[in-house]
Every structure is written in structure tokens, then in C-alpha cells.
């Protein structure tokens, strides 16, 4: 089985940088994904790390350290529209990695 | 290209009633999923279908059944609704079973009284 931990809430101001951490325990690992969900909306895919290191996509970056079972999502130049919940997710080793297990989510509030 | 669509958007049921949630995708994806999301929590997998003709249980399958009607459609049935099934239900699809990106529908908000 899998378990993931994330901080429940993070607050930052517009223009700042914020880091959302995710630690996981897994019996098998196929990579770490990040999803964004606005209130009342559907989750949307942000990024994926299959190997150690940093992946950058515009203002968002994601990092993975497999030896530490740890990853983070870095959001730069924060904007009000970034206020949302952010979920990390790993593939479950059961059933040959055919489904995701999601973390509990981190609610990000961006203040003016 | 509508992506993943779900019907209905909202539903209120009484305990013991049954209903089917519908999901369809137009991206020619092989894999489809049903999740539930409770307030302040992450998504929990109910059932998934790795490919047309196959379905498997996820983390929380009790009280639900699914049908992969064809490659496009994947329905979720509640045979006898219980208040514990009050939740938001999301359908998702991915190109292949091991794709790291899933595409989600807008969700169905279900209340069981």
C-alpha cells in the first residue's frame, strides 16, 4: 500500500514563492505527479517526476528525491489565481501500477 | 473536443434509492476511473477500467458497481444509497493504464439523506 503526507494549508502573498512538500511511503514507486484543484472544480494535471531532480513548467517546478521518498511543488511569482488545493499522487504498486493514490491535499491561499 | 463529461452534475437521493452516474470521454483513451472526494480530503479510487472489457476494484469499492459499456463510457452504480456515500464523484481517463496524466470530468455532487 501507499501513504502520502502533505501540509494541510499554506499561505503566501502575491509575487512570492511557495513550496508544497510531499512525503510518501510506498512498496513500489512509479513516479510522483501533482494536480491542482480550484474550489468547486476538477483536478487538473500540473507535472510529473519519474526520476530525481527538478522539472520546470513555466512558473511551476516540481522536484523529486527517490532516496528520501520526498518531493515538492514550487510555485513562483504567485498570482491570486493560484489559490487552490494541490495534490501529490503516486502510482500504486498493486495491480501493476495501474492506479493512483492521492495525498490529502494542501490548500494554498494567496493574499494580495 | 469535450474531454470527460459526467451526468448528472447534482443529485439528491434518499437512503435506499439507486442511481447510475454516467461518464464519457472523447479522447480515445483506454483507461477510465471513478473517484470519490470527501470534504478536505484527497481523491479515493472506487473502481477503474484499465481497458475496454476489464474492471477492477480500487481502494473503496463497497456499495458500488461499474460497467465499461464501450471504450468511451464508464458508469458507476449505487444499488442502495447510504448517507456515507454523500460525496463528490469524479470520473477520469488516461491514455494508457500507466499514464501519469489523468483527465478529470467536472464531477457529480451527490447527497444522500
B27 grid coordinates: 479522447
pLDDT in tens, B37-86: 998 778 999 999 999 999 999 889 999 999 999 999 999 999 999 999 99
What is the structure's pLDDT at A98?
63
B108, B10 contact by CB (below 8 A): yes
**Sequence-distant (≥ 6) Cβ neighbours of residue B35 within 8 angstroms:** B43, B44, B45, B46, B58, B89, B90, B91, B92
φ, ψ of residue B83 in degrees (nearest 5): -55, -30
Q: Burial, B32: exposed, middle or buried (Cβ in 10 Å; 0-12, 13-18, 19+)?
A: buried
Query: Of B1 and A40, which is predicted with more confidence?
Result: A40
Nearest beta carbon to residue A99 from set B40, B45, B104? B45
Which of A100, A84, A2, A26 has its CA nearest to residue B94? A100
What is the structure's pLDDT at A1?
62
Inter-chain contacts counted by CB atoms under 8 A, chains A and B: 60
Say if the Cβ atoms of A104 and B42 lie within 8 Å.
Answer: yes
B64, B46 contact by CB (below 8 A): yes
Q: Rounded to the nearest 5 degrees, what angle is found at the Cα of B107, between the Cα atoms of B13 and B41?
A: 90
If DSSP codes are grouped into helix, strand and coil, which group holds residue A94? helix
What is the structure's pLDDT at A95?
58
What is the structure's pLDDT at A3?
85
Say if the Cβ atoms of B42 and A103 lie within 8 Å.
Answer: yes
**Sequence-distant (≥ 6) Cβ neighbours of residue B39 within 8 angstroms:** none
pLDDT in tens, A93-104: 665 556 788 999
What is the structure's pLDDT at B59?
87
Please give the residue of chain B at the shortest CA–CA distance from A86. B42
Q: What percent of chain A lies above the pLDDT cut of 90?
A: 79
Say if the Cβ atoms of B43 and A43 lie within 8 Å.
Answer: yes
The residue-averaged pLDDT of A45-51 equals: 93
Indicate if the pLDDT at residue A70 is higher than 70. Answer: yes
Say if A100 is an interface residue toward chain B (CB within 8 Å).
yes
β-bridge pairing B43-49 and B74-78: unpaired
Say if the Cβ atoms of B100 and A96 lie within 8 Å.
Answer: no
The Cα-based distances of A88 to A49, A78, A83, B83 in angstroms read 11, 19, 16, 28
Residues of B in contact with A98 (CB under 8 A): 31, 48, 50, 56, 97-98
What is the structure's pLDDT at A94?
64
Indicate if the pLDDT at residue A32 is higher than 70. Answer: yes
Amino acid at each position: 500500500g501507499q501513504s502520502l503526507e502533505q501540509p494541510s494549508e499554506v499561505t503566501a502573498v502575491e509575487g512570492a514563492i511557495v513550496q508544497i512538500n510531499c512525503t510518501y511511503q510506498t512498496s513500489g514507486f512509479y513516479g510522483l505527479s501533482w494536480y491542482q484543484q480550484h474550489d468547486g472544480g476538477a483536478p487538473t494535471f500540473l507535472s510529473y517526476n519519474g526520476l530525481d531532480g527538478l522539472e520546470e513548467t513555466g512558473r511551476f517546478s516540481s522536484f523529486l528525491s527517490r532516496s528520501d521518498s520526498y518531493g515538492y511543488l514550487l510555485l513562483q511569482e504567485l498570482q491570486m489565481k493560484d489559490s487552490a488545493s494541490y495534490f501529490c499522487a503516486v502510482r500504486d504498486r498493486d495491480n501493476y501500477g495501474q492506479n493512483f493514490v492521492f495525498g490529502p491535499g494542501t490548500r494554498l491561499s494567496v493574499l494580495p | 473536443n469535450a474531454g470527460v463529461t459526467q451526468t448528472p452534475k447534482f443529485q439528491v437521493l434518499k437512503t435506499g434509492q439507486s442511481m447510475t452516474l454516467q461518464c464519457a470521454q472523447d479522447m480515445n483513451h483506454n483507461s477510465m476511473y471513478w473517484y470519490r472526494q470527501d470534504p478536505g480530503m484527497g481523491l479515493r479510487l472506487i473502481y477503474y477500467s484499465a481497458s475496454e472489457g476489464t474492471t477492477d476494484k480500487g481502494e473503496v469499492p463497497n456499495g458500488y458497481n461499474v460497467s465499461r459499456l464501450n471504450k468511451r463510457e464508464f458508469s458507476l452504480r449505487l444499488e442502495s444509497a447510504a448517507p456515507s456515500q454523500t460525496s463528490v464523484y469524479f470520473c477520469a481517463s488516461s491514455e494508457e493504464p500507466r499514464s501519469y496524466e489523468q483527465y478529470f470530468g467536472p464531477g457529480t455532487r451527490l447527497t444522500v439523506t
